[in-house]
Amino acid sequence: MVRLLLFCTFLIALALQGRSAPAPAIKLQLGKGTPVSVWRQGEMAEIRISGGSADAAPPRHDVDLSLRDFDDNEVWSFRGKAEDLPLDLPEPKRFGPYTLSGTIPGNGGKTESFQRHLAYVPRAASGDHGSMQYGIVLLNLPIPLVKPGALACRLAGADFIRSSMSWKEAEAAPGRWDWSYYDDYFGALRSRGLRWVPILWHAPPWGLDKTHRSTLKPESGVCRMPFPDRRLWADFILRALERYGKELRTVEVWNEPDLPYFADFTPEEYAELLKDVRRAIEAKHLPIRITTCGFTCLPGQHPKMIFKDYMPRALKAAAGAYDCHSIHFHGGFTDYKESLNRFIRLRQEWGIAVPWAANETAVSASFCGRKRQAAILFEKMVYSQAKGAEAYVWHNLRDLGKDPKNAEHNYGLMDNDYEPKEAYSAYAATVHLFRGAEPIRDLSRGECICLVFRRGKEILIPVWTFSGKSREREVVFSGIQGKAYFADLYGNRRDLAVRSGTLRLPVSKVPGTLLLEQEEAPELVEVHLAPPQETVIRLAADPKLTGAPCIHLEKRESYHATAPADPSFADCVWRGAGDCSAKLWMGMNGGILRVRAEIRDDVHTPPCTPEVPSGDKVQFFFAPQRGTPLFKFSLVLDREGKAQMQCKESPARKNTDALRRKCRVSITRDDRAHLTNYELRIPAAELGIRQGVPFRFNAVIFDDDGRVQEGYHALVPVSGGPTSGGTGLPQFVFSERKDPQK
């Protein structure tokens, strides 16, 4: 017994020893102190080491600190003793994301490494703002997390916050109302000068319409939001307006009901919910505007939509009940541009005259990486403003988790620990630069975006190229009357040379803004390619395709996500070469062109035919030279294990059956090795390809793991479709010399 007591005492002592001395940590004191790592222009910053419950004097150990900017330049460093802290951190010379890293003393004299991300941003303008409004989605987190979130939104320059006001949470049981969370939530926003746009939705289980007929289909998946009892729904709306109505300017009715995940009712039934809110607002004599839900996509774009025409039907049925038409178009810029322009045309066809807003749109860093996420934010925000949006809302402030392979975890402007990402700095800079700017002209040409805004006595022109393989352009402006500057993605300006009223500006995929000290817009003289850097890839004849692969598609740079931005597809992201990758061989002998693709794919999902826009498939594009027809071959292994091929020519040829009959296709699948081999044999003369003459080629490898086509690998992305003649496709040539290995 004594031994047992001694042993237990020993264990308790060890546990207490482990808990008694928390490891020291770096503490940033920015300005007057902030729980988020956002450093505003003109504020002081201090570094100290905190240890335990109070900032005690740390041990006499070495400290190594380094502050690096977004170009990985070291802008400040300190190497000395921990007892020399706290230290003043000098204010950076450039706005943008920074990384503070180094080593500090840990428990027991051990050295520990650390890294902190922070953003240095311009001061956000205070007060009420007219013209376009900027918002951020700040989800309904616990109040201790809402408070720093509200501060971070304000420091970024946001005007308002969009988030849920859930009936289910306000009245968990019939007649048992509890508004305490929303009181605290709204209070946190008000304390930071932020307005609130609540989403009115989400009936409790007891508040559903028991007589409602479901619209769901077996393939629709799970619905979280059935149709509410409208009498009880109206009571919820009236009570919410009684409590918060005098302080609200806008309310949103439901969220994404065109997706079965969020609604199990028809467009016309959704319109009735809008009308119920309109009647309640009028009964209370409140000057509150109503925005529609954010519709997720255009008619028929989402694979799980039950009603393909949900948007136009709902808008027509609810005419007069809403003041703003909102959309949620997530993803990259190219798709956003195409969808938005079509959306604007369809609004005219449908006769929708109320203003519109992009009240939830973003892109997950899981799809494109953090730096590209920041660039896409800028592109989508200024393009929306140029096309007349009355508001733009990024989804969302904070990453929902830490899994890089979960798309829903990586939409935030800040990471899960409230450390700002590159997108946060881009948001703050874009709002600061374009607040109050009015669009006056669109000078875009081809793949070069060039938009003209006027802000007071200044002209702003955001410019960039958007094709996946865009080479650098040079745009030439005339009519320059004063000084000219170029602002980068984070708002840092540099002087530009103007000669005789003319300005030549190199433009690339990294967006930026030309600023001119004048009121008159300049003229765009020309947009032209910089000297081409194109190379021709030489191929040996290699008729047996036994040499090294000529193409590798195994990295994120060649992968393009296509899965819808939908919580039910959050895990549908590329997970590395084992998920989907490709090696390709090409050879020619006796006038026969052979192409073989070895695809590593953990899950093979066969479509029925090559025409089906789902399942795994491979596409090969050939064009002998610019201006000649572009041939597309689609290869699939169907559900019966048979190889199928489709052949098309652009511009469309009346009959490709003869060419298809001359081709030979072989496809085999090894499930154990997770490999699929596709081989295509074509008479080279039919394509106009011969040895010694360059031709253009593209390979596209689609990946579908069973639920949706997640994305594809490609030499050149196919968004919008490759152009006739193979413009932009890489060049290959079969050597006229004999293959030494033959």
pLDDT, position 728? 67
pLDDT, position 606? 87
Please count the other Cβ atoms lying within 10 Å of the Cβ belonging to residue 178: 12
Given pLDDT bands bounded at 50, 70 and 90, which one contains residue 191? very high
Residue-wise pLDDT for 433-452, tens only, equals 999 999 999 999 888 999 99
pLDDT, position 673? 94
Residue-wise pLDDT for 674-718, tens only, equals 999 999 999 998 888 888 888 989 999 999 988 888 889 998 887
Treating both helix axes as pointing N-terminal to C-terminal, what angle do 310-317 and 333-350 enclose, rounded to 10 degrees?
40
Given pLDDT bands bounded at 50, 70 and 90, which one contains residue 313? very high
Phi then psi dihedrals of residue 189, to 5 deg: -70, -45
- Residue 27 forms beta bridges with which residues? 48
Q: Are 138 and 173 in contact (CB under 8 A)?
A: no
Q: What is the longest distance spanned by two Cα atoms in the chain?
A: 98
Residue type, 371: K
Q: Alpha helix locations (H) across 387-451?
A: 422-434
Least confident range of 166-175, 325-334, 624-633, 672-681: 624-633
Mean pLDDT throughout 424-430?
Answer: 98
CA-CA distance, 53 to 62, in Å (whole number)?
A: 22
Scan for tokens 């009519």, then name that residue.
479
CA-CA distance, 99 to 119, in Å (whole number)?
A: 9
* Mean pLDDT for the chain overall: 87
pLDDT, position 128? 64
pLDDT, position 742? 41
For 624, the token pair is 């002998």
Given pLDDT bands bounded at 50, 70 and 90, which one contains residue 129? low
pLDDT, position 349? 97
What sign does the dihedral 295-556-379-68 (CA atoms) show?
Answer: positive
Q: How many residues does the chain have?
A: 742
pLDDT, position 649? 82
Given pLDDT bands bounded at 50, 70 and 90, which one contains residue 527? confident
Residue-wise pLDDT for 390-417, tens only, equals 999 999 999 999 998 899 999 999 999 9
Residue 558 has pLDDT above 80, yes or no: yes
Q: What angle do CA 224, 205, 244 make, to 5 degrees?
A: 90
Q: Are 137 and 396 in contact (CB under 8 A)?
A: yes
Mean pLDDT throughout 55-60?
Answer: 52
Least confident range of 11-20, 124-133, 194-203, 380-389: 11-20
Given pLDDT bands bounded at 50, 70 and 90, which one contains residue 59? low
Residue 92: C-alpha distances to residues 38, 64, 77, 115, 218 (Å): 13, 19, 12, 18, 57
What sign does the dihedral 325-331-333-335 (CA atoms) show?
Answer: negative
Residue with the larger pLDDT of the pair 10 and 37: 37
CA-CA distance, 520 to 479, in Å (whole number)?
A: 8
Phi then psi dihedrals of residue 527, to 5 deg: -130, 120
CA-CA distance, 641 to 193, in Å (whole number)?
A: 62
pLDDT, position 267? 96
